[in-house]
Amino acid sequence: MTGTAVEAEIRKFGALADRWWDPDGPMRPLHRMNPLRTGWIADRIARAHGRTGRDLSGLTLLDVGCGAGLASEAFARMGARVTGLDAAGEALEAARAHGAAGGLEIAYREGTPEDLAPTNETYDAVVALEVIEHVEDRAAFLGALAALAKPGGQVFLSTLNRTARSFLMAKVGAEYVLRMLPVGTHDWRMFVTPGELGAGLRRAGLAVTDLAGMTMDPLTGRWRETRDLGVNYLVAARRD
């Protein structure tokens, strides 16, 4: 395997494969966040193709760092032709089994975006959700995402801002106090500010088109779109 994937990160998330689809398990925050982030992305893909609602019928989408397929399945149900890509083989096994049980046709592949870039495959949309904060070489990673988008295609990321508040909420609070995530899930030093991410996307040949914050209601556990980028946020970009 080549590219920007960190072996320790691959092993860490591969070990969670058998519990990935448990809504109350270690991936509970992603289960709760998923409707917001996939809906936000689908709205913008559909709009770019002159469609209303979240109709992604026939459009090609690459889900980078797909894990066991939470986002891949959501996009497939909206009609997209989804390819899920991940470096953790155990997670992909769980993804294939769950997708097959739900009657979904999703092409799951093991590897990194750098592995795919030389094939000249391109997609209408490329998404990488909660991935870049686990990546070793951000510039190479973003360059590969850009190469995998069609000319005029879109690239979407969601990640964590590197702020004092994100350290308290997403690292200390989520992992040690509330136990929402396994201890060691995140390294706060690898969190990415919007400015850093925007600059990296521009260097990769992508133009940022939208930004939004994601905020969780601590009483209900529901996530909503906000203007607050201080902890979790989404980015949309376009390849010229």
Whole-number Å distance between alpha carbons of 227 and 219: 20
pLDDT in tens, 105-141: 999 999 999 999 888 999 999 999 999 998 989 999 9
Q: What is the CA radius of gyration of the chain?
A: 16
Please check if 211 is assigned to a binding site. Answer: no
Whole-number Å distance between alpha carbons of 61 and 189: 30
- Residue 11: which pLDDT band, with cuts at 50, 70 and 90? low
Domain residue spans of the chain: 7-239
Please check if 28 is assigned to a binding site. Answer: no
Please check if 65 is assigned to a binding site. Answer: yes
Cβ neighbours around 182 below 10 Å, total: 17
pLDDT in tens, 74-108: 999 999 999 999 999 999 999 999 999 999 999 99
Answer yes or no: CATH 3.40.50.150 is held by domain 7-239.
yes
Whole-number Å distance between alpha carbons of 26 and 21: 9
Given this model, what pLDDT does residue 19 score?
84
Task: Tell me the whole-structure pTM to 2 decimals.
Answer: 0.88
